[in-house]
């Protein structure tokens, strides 16, 4: 099989209740994994989160991001904006697309991600996303 796309390290997926969103730690150690997960098509940016858990569109999800070459952790309160189910066509990884909120704090995180990715943001290489 061809080269699999790199995935971020995912941790902290606890059971969600209706009152509290799920908290997922998403650690990107490599730029290639960040590139494969980043969703520039969402107006305010977003990320693909590989997970076997079932989510619903619009469900709140709280990400704690660690980016490559950056020691800071970035909290993002996003919403599930698309689903990739188990056994998806093309061998795509099961998971969810999380849309970032349109606030100033998250805009700065999006800018930081795009700084890290540089010109790769507009690359035609395949990703886990759209």
Over the chain, what is the mean pLDDT?
Answer: 83
Q: Is residue 85 part of a domain?
A: yes
Q: Is residue 103 part of a domain?
A: yes
Q: Is residue 2 part of a domain?
A: no
pLDDT of residue 19: 54
E strands of 1-130, at which residues?
A: 9-11, 22-27, 46-50, 60-66, 73-84, 95-99
Q: Is residue 74 part of a domain?
A: yes
Domain that holds residue 93: 9-118
12 φψ region: left (φ > 0), alpha (ψ -120 to 50), beta (else): left
Scanning the structure block, which residue is given the tokens 């943001």?
121
Q: Is residue 91 part of a domain?
A: yes
Number of domains in the chain: 1
Scanning the structure block, which residue is given the tokens 């909290």?
75
Query: How does pLDDT run across 88-112, given as a tens digit for each residue?
Result: 888 888 999 999 999 999 999 999 9
Neighbouring CB atoms inside 10 A of 66's CB total: 16
Q: What is the dihedral of CA 116, 102, 81, 95, to 10 degrees?
A: 30
Q: Is residue 104 part of a domain?
A: yes
Q: Is residue 125 part of a domain?
A: no
Does the pTM surpass 0.85? The reply is no
Q: Is residue 130 part of a domain?
A: no
Q: For position 84, which CATH number holds? A: 2.40.10.220
């Amino acid at each position: 099989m061809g080269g699999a796309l790199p995935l971020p390290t995912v941790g902290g997926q606890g059971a969600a209740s209706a009152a509290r969103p799920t908290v997922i730690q998403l650690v990107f150690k490599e730029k290639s994994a960040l590139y494969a997960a980043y969703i520039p098509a969402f107006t305010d940016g977003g990320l693909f989160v590989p997970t076997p858990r079932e989510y619903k569109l619009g469900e709140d999800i709280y990400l704690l991001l660690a980016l490559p070459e950056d020691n800071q952790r970035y909290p993002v309160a996003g919403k599930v904006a698309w689903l990739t189910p188990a056994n998806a066509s093309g061998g795509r990884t099961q998971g969810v697309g999380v849309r970032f909120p349109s606030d100033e704090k998250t805009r700065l995180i999006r800018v930081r991600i795009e700084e890290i990715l540089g010109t790769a943001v507009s690359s035609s290489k395949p990703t886990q996303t759209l």
